[in-house]
Structure 1
């Protein structure tokens, strides 16, 4: 009986350690790859005083990924996308039909998520990368790995996310050149309700994407805006 109990405990510990190692791989690898993206984006990464954090602006200037440096002072969300509303308005968007999780102001739409209300403590300088590390260390569940694209991503809630390549040179999942170094992702469901013709949104690609849900590949409708930042 004692042997059976000990065997069960050993097995449970082995599973727990394996899970922790896998989480560590996602966390650590996402940090190093995010650092490479920040470096490649140059001046497109900047402080954002309005939201109390940092922003990574798309090469075409139409959308930004924003992450907070202190969740206790975030005026809106801790992680978010802010993007031009015009393509959606031109495609029929009625802003009055948007859910209260999407904000429309001064020609921009903003969607995101509150991670917490923590006053973040830093061991060194407060930098864009250090603030991203806070997400990994404190809210690891918000960071995932997208197998089909060989990407990491930050979950912004409601099916929205920001993704970046684990390696900007090659997609290990397909063993082909990586042509989507960063991807801004929006869930189209709310726009359907708000009157948008999904095929008329200029600058965004409406597509079915294979997503990992509970460990199973699942097809999901998404708006995508990908960029090759090495060009």
Structure 2
């Protein structure tokens, strides 16, 4: 009986070790997303700037029409912790009534912002905060906000309600056959709230209105998105 009891304890310990390894220490998506995000930052250093308004950092598109912003201190970010800020004009010209936008949107100075609040943490760092270190905080504390888009071989930050910022796992080997999606970075908007606020999606200039294949309940499904893709190299 003693031997059997000891064997049960050993098996339980081994299962615990395996579970911890699979669940935490070998978070391949989380860890590799950090490496690839660093590559993106290094590819366009002139487009990465401090954003004092949102207590963090921003990565601007090459044409300056949209920015991905992520906070370095969630206790100081006024509205969202991760967000997109983009020119309102293409959507206004396509029929947008700003007063009909949902609460996760803000409109100001001819700009629109959409994003989500991750928490209210006062984040701490070893040394001064950096753009990459601020991203690492998302991976470490809000891992569920980081995703992997299998169809495009992209990582992404979930900005809530179907909005995303995506980047290529490897800028040299993007594998999509869709030229509008096979890019190093892609700013992604859920069109539904914008359409509900009066936007005619076929009249939005500068954004691609198309279907993207995503996994829903384990099944590949085509959903409509507004995309603004860019190559950096």
Taking structure 1 as the reference length, what is the TM-score of the superposition? 0.90
Q: Does residue 55 of structure 1 match 2:58?
A: yes
Q: Is the 8 A contact 1:144 1:154 kept in 2?
A: yes
Tell me the alpha carbon deviations over residues 16-55 of structure 1, each in whole angstroms, 9 at most, x when there is no partner: 5334355x21111001100010011121100011111100
The corresponding residue for 1:68 is 71
Q: Which has the larger radius of gyration?
A: 2
Q: Is the 8 A contact 1:147 1:173 kept in 2?
A: no
Superposition map of 1:119-130 within 5 A = 119-130=122-133
Q: 1:11, CA displacement in angstroms?
A: 5.7
Superposition map of 1:1-16 within 5 A = 14=18
Q: Is the 8 A contact 1:152 1:163 kept in 2?
A: yes
Superposition map of 1:147-226 within 5 A = 147-171=150-174, 179-226=182-229
Give 5+ residue unaligned stretches, structure 1. Answer: none
The corresponding residue for 2:21 is 17
| Number of aligned positions between the proteins | 227
CA RMSD of aligned residues (A): 2.3
The corresponding residue for 2:231 is 228
With over 3 angstroms needed to count, the CA separation of the structure-2 counterparts of 1:228 and 1:173, relative to structure 1, is closer
- Give the one of 131, 138, 143 matched to 1:140: 143
Q: Is the 8 A contact 2:145 2:157 kept in 1?
A: yes
Give 5+ residue unaligned stretches, structure 2. Answer: none
- Give the one of 30, 33, 39 matched to 2:42: 39
Taking structure 2 as the reference length, what is the TM-score of the superposition? 0.89
